[in-house]
């Protein structure tokens, strides 16, 4: 009996040892399997990235989706997939991915903010503005606070909700430490312009003051202030206000030149108003201002005076646009006193010049290069404010008139 008991005592450590070795063996097998799985996932990930780099997004997405299905914890991969879907225009799939992330309870606050931001961008891309606003407003004060506010600002401009745009731009200044005064002044001007259309003059006055508070002597706000005074039937004061534009923002005078002349006409000083515009042509001879001055010069002082003015312009600022206006004025004179041959020659010349100047005369955005026939405070191409030069591109000529 003692020998049997002794044998069992000897066997116990041996059994434990075998069990320990088996556990170690299972652990090694499990580690090997985990390692193989990790390597397989890494190979799949690299394959997906390689497909992306080789501009094969369809195959890349299929590969990355399989990885995400095998390991639901790959949060960054889900974010990458959602962004890919959105860029390819598959907004419904992007929304599903980001919505799944946003609804998870185990996400860290930063990842939850990231998911809310990306989901807001998805909704914005899909045109679901209410849902985009709700999602972007859920973003906290961390890394994604400023991008979310930028997206909200973009959305409010699309909706033309200028009051909310002002609030978003002001909050962005605090988040970024960067001035948005120019945009804020423009938003106030938009509110004032809309109020002027519906003849809500107290609202116009308030908006002008807020715009000038954001950017003192802001060109558009001063122009709008003159329009407000015209609506109040105070043309002399409008002229006084617009005189500041002539001295500090002369390149913008073409935007109000016709209204400037109407205000002068209302107080019987049309000739003085025309002289002031004529003086500006020494530095602002190209673009629409020349067209407007030529029109009013012809009406008030006659085509001969307009011809003299245009010859003067061609001497110091020769452009195809000025040459076209000179041909137009000389045709007007020839139709009154010239020969049929002279009229025919000028008609042919004017026709060629108009074809050429119509294709050349454009305002160009300094940010994206978008070209337009009319001036915009906000570029229709990239939505940047005050990106357009107030001067129209004109075709220059190398010598004076030869007609």
Binding-site residue positions for Fe cation: 365, 368, 379, 382
Spatial distance between the Cα atoms of 130 and 124, rounded to a whole number of angstroms: 9
* 3-state secondary structure labels for all residues of the chain: CHHHHHHHHHHHHHHHHHHHHHHHHHHHHHHHHHHHHHHHHHHHHHHHHHHHHCCCHHHHHHHHHHHHHHCCCCHHHHHHHHHHHHHCCCHHHHHHHHHHHHCCCCCCHHHHHHHHHHHHHHHHHHCCHHHHHHHHCCCCCCCCHHHHHHHHHHHHHHHCCHHHHHHHHHHHHHHHCCCCHHHHHHHHHHHHHHHHHCCCHHHHHHHHHHHHHHCCCCHHHHHHHHHHHHHCCCHHHHHHHHHHHHHHCHHHHHHCHHHHHHHHHHCCCHHHHHHHHHHHCCCCCCCHHHHHHHHHHHHHHCHHHHHHHHHHHHHHCCEHHHHHHHHHHHHHHHHHHCCHHHHHHHHHHHHHHHHHHHHHCEEEECCCCCEECCCCCECCCCCCECCECCCCECCECCCCCCC
Beta partners for 388?
Answer: 365
Indicate the annotated binding residues: 365, 368, 379, 382
Spatial distance between the Cα atoms of 352 and 333, rounded to a whole number of angstroms: 19
């Amino acid at each position: 009996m003692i020998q049997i008991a002794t044998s069992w005592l000897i066997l116990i450590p041996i059994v434990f040892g075998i069990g320990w070795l088996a556990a170690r063996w299972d652990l090694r097998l499990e580690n090997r399997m985990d390692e193989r799985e990790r390597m397989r996932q890494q190979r799949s990930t690299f394959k997906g990235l390689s497909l992306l780099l080789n501009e094969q997004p369809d195959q890349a997405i299929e590969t990355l989706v399989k990885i995400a299905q095998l390991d639901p914890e790959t949060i960054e991969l889900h974010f990458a997939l959602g962004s890919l879907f959105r860029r390819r225009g598959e907004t419904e799939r992007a929304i599903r991915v980001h919505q799944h992330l946003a609804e998870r309870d185990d996400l860290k606050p930063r990842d939850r903010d990231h998911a809310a931001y990306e989901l807001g961008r998805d909704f914005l891309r899909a045109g679901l503005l209410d849902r985009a606003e709700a999602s972007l407003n859920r973003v906290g004060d961390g890394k994604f606070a400023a991008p979310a506010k930028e997206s909200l600002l973009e959305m409010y401009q699309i909706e033309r909700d200028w009051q909310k745009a002002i609030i978003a731009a002001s909050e962005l200044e605090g988040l970024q430490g960067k001035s948005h005064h120019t945009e804020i002044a423009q938003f106030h001007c938009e509110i004032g312009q809309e109020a002027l259309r519906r003849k809500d003059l107290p609202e116009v006055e308030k908006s002008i003051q807020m715009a000038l508070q954001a950017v003192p002597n802001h060109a558009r706000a001063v122009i709008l202030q003159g329009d407000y005074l015209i609506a109040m039937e105070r043309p002399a004061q409008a002229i006084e206000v617009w005189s500041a534009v002539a001295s500090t923002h002369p390149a913008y005078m073409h935007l109000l030149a016709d209204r400037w002349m109407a205000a002068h006409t209302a107080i019987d000083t049309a000739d003085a108003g025309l002289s002031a515009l004529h003086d500006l042509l020494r530095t602002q001879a190209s673009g629409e201002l020349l067209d407007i001055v030529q029109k009013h010069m012809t009406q008030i002082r006659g085509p001969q005076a307009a011809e003299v003015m245009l010859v003067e312009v061609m001497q110091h600022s020769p452009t195809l646009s000025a040459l076209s206006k000179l041909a137009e004025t000389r045709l007007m004179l020839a139709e009154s006193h010239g020969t049929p041959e002279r009229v025919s020659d000028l008609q042919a010349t004017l026709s060629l010049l108009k074809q050429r100047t119509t294709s050349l005369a454009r305002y160009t955005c300094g940010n994206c290069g978008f070209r337009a026939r009319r001036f915009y405070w906000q570029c229709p191409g990239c939505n940047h404010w005050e990106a357009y030069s107030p001067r129209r591109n004109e075709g220059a000529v190398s010598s004076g008139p030869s007609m």
